[in-house]
Amino acid sequence: MLSVLPSWPANRPPGEDLVLTDPLTGLGNLRRFFDKVNRLISDRADDPAPFAIGVLDIDGFKPINDLLGRAAGDEILQQVAMRLRAAMDEYSIVTRIGADEFAFLCPMVFSEEAAAEKARMLVEILSAPYDVGHRTARLSASAGCSLFYSEEDTTELLLNKAETALYQAKRAGRGVVVVYTREMEEAAKRITRIEQALRRAVAAGEVEPHFQPIVDLATRRVVGFETLARWTDRDLGEVSPAVFIPIAEERGIISQLSQLILRKAAEAAQDWPDGLFLSFNLSPSQLVDQNTGLQILSILERTGFSPRRLEIEITESGLMSDPASAARIIADLRRVGIRVSLDDFGTGQSSLGRLRDFPFDKLKIDRAFVSSVLDDRPSEHIIRAILAMCEGLGMEAVAEGIEEEAQVHRLVEFGCQGGQGYLFGRPCDAERTLVYLRRGGGQAWQSPVH
> For residues 322 and 76, which has the higher predicted lDDT (pLDDT)?
76
Whether 418 maps to a domain, the answer reads: yes
Whether 445 maps to a domain, the answer reads: no
pLDDT tens-digit map of 144-166: 999 999 888 999 999 999 999 99
Long-range contacts of 273-277 (CB under 8 A, 24+ apart): 273/437, 273/441, 274/309, 275/223, 276/222, 276/223, 276/224, 276/225, 276/309, 276/437, 276/441, 277/223, 277/224, 277/225, 277/309, 277/310, 277/311, 277/339
Whether 323 maps to a domain, the answer reads: yes
- In whole angstroms, how large is the CA radius of gyration of the chain? 27
pLDDT of residue 63: 74
The DSSP output letter for 282 is P
pLDDT exceeds 60 at position 47: yes
Which structural domain range is residue 207 located in?
Answer: 192-440
Is 250 considered catalytic here?
Answer: no
How many domains is the chain partitioned into structurally?
A: 2
pLDDT of residue 11: 54
- Alpha carbon of residue 163 to chain centroid: 16
pLDDT exceeds 50 at position 324: yes
What's the farthest any 2 CA atoms get from each other in the chain? 84
Dihedral angle of Cα 421, 423, 426, 430, to the nearest 10 degrees: -90
Lowest model confidence (mean pLDDT) among 31-45, 101-115, 149-163, 313-327:
313-327
> For residues 43 and 321, which has the higher predicted lDDT (pLDDT)?
43
Cα 222-402-386 angle, rounded to 5 deg: 95
Taking residue 114's Cβ as centre, other Cβ atoms within 10 Å add up to: 17
Whether 61 maps to a domain, the answer reads: yes
Whether residue 84 sits in one domain with residue 55: yes
Whether residue 95 sits in one domain with residue 171: yes
Among left, alpha and beta (phi > 0; psi -120 to 50; other), residue 173 is left
Whether residue 81 sits in one domain with residue 214: no
Whether residue 436 sits in one domain with residue 375: yes
pLDDT tens-digit map of 50-97: 999 999 999 878 777 777 788 888 999 999 999 999 999 999 999 999
Given 206, 400, 403, 431, the catalytic residue: 400
Whether residue 427 sits in one domain with residue 360: yes
Q: Which of 135, 156, 180 is the last residue of a domain?
A: 180
pLDDT band per the 50, 70, 90 thresholds, residue 332: very high
pLDDT of residue 184: 85
Whether 172 maps to a domain, the answer reads: yes
Whether residue 169 sits in one domain with residue 198: no
Q: Which of 131, 153, 180 is the last residue of a domain?
A: 180
pLDDT of residue 322: 81
Whether residue 252 sits in one domain with residue 105: no
Whether residue 175 sits in one domain with residue 205: no
Whether residue 235 sits in one domain with residue 160: no
pLDDT tens-digit map of 336-377: 999 999 998 876 554 576 777 788 999 999 999 999 999 989
Whether 26 maps to a domain, the answer reads: yes
In angstroms, what CA-CA distances link 66 with 61, 319, 323, 381? 9, 15, 12, 36
Q: What share of the chain in percent tops pLDDT 70?
A: 92
Q: Which residues pair with 63 in a beta bridge?
A: none
pLDDT of residue 172: 86
Cα separation of 301 and 290, whole Å?
Answer: 18
Whether residue 341 sits in one domain with residue 216: yes
pLDDT of residue 14: 53
Q: Which of 180, 200, 235 is the last residue of a domain?
A: 180
> For residues 4 and 31, which has the higher predicted lDDT (pLDDT)?
31
